[in-house]
A and B are shown apart, each in its own frame.
Chain A
Amino acid sequence: GENVEQHPSTLSVQEGDSAVIKCTYSDSASNYFPWYKQELGKRPQLIIDIRSNVGEKKDQRIAVTLNKTAKHFSLHITETQPEDSAVYFCAASTGSGGYQKVTFGTGTKLQVIP
């Protein structure tokens, strides 16, 4: 089955700096890669996603890159703010339509220091 590894497990950055979280996956059939932000005690919220036919996607301060050959994808947050502090999960999804299977990474706790 799919195995998703995520690094680092914790990350502290100064406000205004950039943060990068990296994930690797094992199943070459994975075709959808979402990133979720989870604040303490709350549900995961989709913040950005990328599909296998795209190499990079950007949404304001957040960007995601995908290297299918190397089977890794990364989340980049620029100009970090204290409200960016949360746990971030990457995920890799295989299948289509009603036969999706999503595997999550182990999470990265991001702390943005004011």
Chain B
Amino acid sequence: GAVVSQHPSWVICKSGTSVKIECRSLDFQATTMFWYRQFPKQSLMLMATSNEGSKATYEQGVEKDKFLINHASLTLSTLTVTSAHPEDSSFYICSAMTGTGGSYEQYFGPGTRLTVT
């Protein structure tokens, strides 16, 4: 149980175009999903916290107009990188939280490798 999928697994796009990444919790409902960015050999940097039915909470330094997050249902959150530039090339990982009360766990998607040319 507790499987999180992410699509696509990799994508190459041209500078100036937009890319949408989907994150789905396959066998549980996730009221909260997280989006991370990971550079090679570095840690996961939280970009935003996404709660179903409400606006995402962005971390300091993350442009909300550039990284659009939509949490339309309890099993789906999307991240759209708008007007992508080469510096946006990175490994994007989502995670979904499951649990109740004080007992909760976070499960990660397989990640999406974005390359902007």
Contacts and interface: CB of A to CB of B under 8 A. Distances in A.
**Interface footprint category on A:** 20 to 34
B67 interface: no
Given A45-B108, A46-B105, A46-B106, A98 B43 contact: no
Contact of A105 (B31, B43, B104): B43
Contacts of A49: 105
B104 A43 contact: no
B90 to A, nearest CB: 13
Contact of A43 (B45, B102, B109): B109
A103 to B, nearest CB: 7
A43 B101 contact: no
Nearest to B97: A100
B44 interface: yes
Contacts of B51: 98-99
A64 to B, nearest CB: 14
Contacts, number: 57
A82 to B, nearest CB: 20
Contacts of A100: 32, 49, 97, 104, 106
Contact of B49 (A51, A97, A101): A101
A11 to B, nearest CB: 15
B4 to A, nearest CB: 8
Contact of A101 (B42, B46, B111): B46
A104 B43 CA distance: 7
Interface of A: 31-32, 34, 36, 41-46, 49, 51, 89, 96-107
Given A97-B101, A100-B32, A104-B45, 20 more contacts: A34-B106, A36-B108, A43-B109, A43-B110, A43-B111, A44-B44, A46-B105, A46-B106, A46-B107, A96-B104, A97-B100, A97-B104, A100-B106, A101-B46, A101-B49, A102-B34, A104-B46, A105-B43, A106-B42, A106-B43
Closest 3 interchain pairs by CB?
A43-B108, A98-B31, A98-B32
14 contacts: A34-B105, A36-B108, A41-B111, A43-B93, A44-B108, A46-B106, A49-B105, A89-B44, A97-B31, A98-B32, A99-B32, A99-B51, A100-B104, A107-B43
